[in-house]
């Protein structure tokens, strides 16, 4: 019998440093935009993409080009990273192998394209763009672009700015609206909307119950949807089980918000649990 069981790893980007032991000696600060695969973690530092093992060892810079690089996301097989980069005066989508090499450009529109993730088959990169809206501001939509660099395709949902596929690819959890004031603490106005789950087969949408809070950054792992919410006045991690519909708060920070949330399924001798790296 296989001793390994699938475990969940969540990475939070808070005011603290993740990889504390590995990088404390270097006095490294301001790491951001964490992404995670089954055995690697990627992050942004000094406008470049870096990659390391889950324990923080063997950290190396993946991109060395001039320009700001951000929003790394691992492909489903963990072999490629998609990211946004401003190399030629505009923010576009690029991919690069985790071993390094010259990034491949996928989008060419004269407006910012921001990576959101990948399709479950690993053939397309999911990104948000305002390329067909006028005015562009706050009216962005989701798009997909093939790793071969063909013309991007508009996502099926007309109003969605962030989201993640279910593991089987049959559903999609998403944020509907883009907020124009992300640092408004404990905001309870019209910018807030609930997270929603779209069923591709039935073309129906289900709402994750909420209380007019700002729920964002969903991550779908197994039967659980993890997300950030300021329901207790500070942005913390919550969990919603798609089958039972139960919700549970997982972190209880009081003084500082969690800013980003990413997750992955890994094989471990441990039982199924949540590991938060701060």
Quote the pLDDT of residue 216: 92
State in Å, rounded, how far the first CA of the chain is from the last one.
34
Q: Where are the alpha helices (DSSP H) in the chain?
A: 20-23
Q: What does pLDDT average to over the chain?
A: 84
The predicted-structure confidence for 27-63, as pLDDT tens digits, reads as follows 566 788 889 888 898 999 889 999 998 877 888 999 9
Buried b (16+ CB within 10 A) or exposed e, 235-258: bbbbbbebeeeebeeebebeeebb
Both tokens of 21, joined, read 């032991």
Contact 13, 32 (CB under 8 A): yes
Closest among 84, 91, 104, 92 to 42, alpha carbons compared:
84
Domains of the chain with CATH codes: 5-277 (2.120.10.60)
As given in the structure block, the two tokens for residue 205 are 């949408």
pTM to 2 decimal places: 0.86
Omega prior to 239 cis, within 30 of 0:
no
* pLDDT one-digit tens code per residue, 119-140: 999 999 999 998 887 665 566 8
């Amino acid at each position: 019998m296989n001793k390994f069981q699938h475990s969940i790893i969540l990475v939070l980007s808070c005011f603290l440093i993740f990889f504390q032991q590995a990088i404390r000696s270097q006095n490294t600060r301001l790491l951001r935009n964490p992404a995670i695969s089954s055995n690697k973690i990627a992050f942004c530092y000094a406008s470049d993409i870096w990659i390391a093992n889950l324990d923080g060892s063997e950290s190396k810079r993946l991109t060395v080009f001039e320009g700001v690089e951000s929003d790394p996301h691992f492909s489903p097989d963990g072999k490629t990273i998609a990211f946004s980069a401003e190399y030629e005066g505009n923010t576009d989508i690029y991919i690069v192998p985790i071993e390094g090499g010259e990034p491949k450009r996928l989008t060419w529109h004269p407006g910012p394209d921001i990576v959101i993730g990948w399709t479950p088959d690993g053939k397309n990169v999911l990104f948000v763009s305002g390329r067909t809206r006028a005015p562009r501001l706050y009216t962005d939509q989701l798009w997909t672009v093939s790793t071969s660099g063909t013309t991007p395709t508009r996502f099926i949902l007309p109003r969605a700015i962030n989201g993640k596929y279910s593991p089987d690819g049959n559903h999609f959890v998403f944020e509907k609206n883009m907020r124009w004031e992300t640092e408004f603490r404990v905001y309870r106005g019209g910018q807030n909307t609930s997270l929603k789950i779209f069923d591709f087969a039935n073309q129906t949408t289900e709402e994750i119950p909420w209380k007019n809070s700002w729920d964002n950054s969903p991550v779908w792992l197994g039967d659980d949807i993890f997300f950030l919410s300021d329901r207790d006045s500070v942005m913390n991690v919550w969990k919603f089980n798609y089958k039972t519909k139960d919700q549970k708060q997982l972190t209880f920070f009081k003084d500082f918000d969690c800013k980003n949330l990413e997750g992955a399924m890994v094989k471990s001798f441990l039982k199924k649990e949540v590991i938060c790296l701060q």
